[in-house]
Amino acid sequence: MVSEHAETAATTATAQVLVASNRGPVSYTLGEDGTLDAKRGGGGLVSGLSAVEDKLWVCAALGDGDREAVRRGVGEAGVRMLDIDAGIHADAYNGIANSVLWFVHHLLYQTPVEPVFDAEFRRRWASYETYNRAFSRALAEEAGPGAAVLVQDYHLALVPGMLRELRPDLRIGHFSHTPWAPVDYFRLLPDDIAEQLLRGILGADRAAFLTRRWADAFIGCCTEILGGTGHTRIGVHGLGADADFLRRRSQEPDVLERMAALREQVGEGRKTIVRVDRTELSKNIVRGLHAYRALLDAHPEWRERVVHVAFAYPSRQDLAVYRDYTAAVQSLATEINGAYGTESWTPVVLHVKDDFARSLAAYRLADVALVNPIRDGMNLVAKEVPVVSDHGCALVLSREAGAYEELGEDAIVVNPYDVTGTAEALHEALTMSGDERSGRTKRLAEAATALPPQQWFLDQLEALRRE
């Protein structure tokens, strides 16, 4: 049934391509003097959307600056930012999306003690519903007749179903940027919540995923819990690296400056093992550091000859478990440096301040890239490093990363829980011949850029309109 408001809005709205996501392409900072400063975002979705001229991006106001911008009517063409109540957003974003759905899909719960789905969870779930409903209403108001709407990720899993009720004329897609949990783990959720999430996504004409593995897990959940996926088509689109942008950006002066600084920190003639991650629990940074320490123990010939360049950029620091994890990373790096370091050699060079230029500098200098997540929807770092590497880079890659499906043949593949195995993989990577490393890097770069962001988005849009 179409609401009168949505029906009236549809006759006057003109947007034919709409994207909905929690975070938009621009954010605002409120200065002490009351001025608003705008900052453009990056990432695959921003790059992908540049392929479409006439579009509307619906997103949430994430902070005080964003909310003030909405209240003042400040914004940019093609973006509608929703000023959802800050408490509702906090419950939906941190209380449900990041503390429940993320944990389920990345298999992160310590099941003897968590999760606990109690009255507080139900209160937060009501906020998640309210948050999704706000997006649904905005999309219904803005979409022209028969428009294509592409809803992004686990934050907005209920939107397709809600929007379908308001605007049955629309072509609706949902894309999951995370893994999807296997059915036994997904059923940790209360039965009614699990069913509501699945039915929410199945409100879309098309539900898409980064890999076939995640798509099959979703189908498995739908089959087990609902008896099937109904009329919803399932697609797979493996987001690739933006080679042109990365190669151009990695040659700019600020990157060259950071390369010089990193070379000085590493020291002349030493090899580098590079990792670039957020301090997200699923990224497995702590086990990566344990593996590096195990390498130094099992192969002491690498002492003084290799440096682990680890960029661990703080993530979700408003959640205590993430603050604790960031502290554990820093503590372990300090411990390794204290146990093995010398006057002329710092075994671990750790940086925790986000710096994209420095990340690109590390990519270029890397002899080995360590990408060992517990579970990851894709992991673009694994794809980006081979694209910009100066002299070829051996990739040590977790079999639980989505990128494994495309890159596994030319990577050294590890079980992310096996610290000893990862240490041996690092040794294998460090001793790989230059010719083999060069050949592997070339093939990795080709696979990594097979579906660049713009084509990734256009493929989804075409498939949605076609089906």
- What's this model's pTM, rounded to 2 decimal places? 0.93
pLDDT score for 1: 41
| Element at 175 (helix H, strand E) | strand 171-176
Q: Mind listing the pLDDT tens digit for each residue in 395-405?
A: 999 999 999 99
Cα gap 165→199, rounded to integer Å: 12
Sign for the CA dihedral angle at 295, 298, 303, 305 comes to: negative
Q: Outline where DSSP puts E strands in 279-400.
A: 306-313, 348-351, 368-371, 394-398
Q: Phi and psi dihedrals of 371, rounded to 5?
A: -130, 95
pLDDT score for 37: 87
**Token digits for 436?**
């083999």
Q: Mind listing the pLDDT tens digit for each residue in 107-146?
A: 999 999 999 999 999 999 999 999 999 999 999 999 999 9
Asked if residue 72 has pLDDT above 70, the reply is yes
Cα gap 31→29, rounded to integer Å: 6
Q: Which residue has the tokens 């798509």?
A: 215
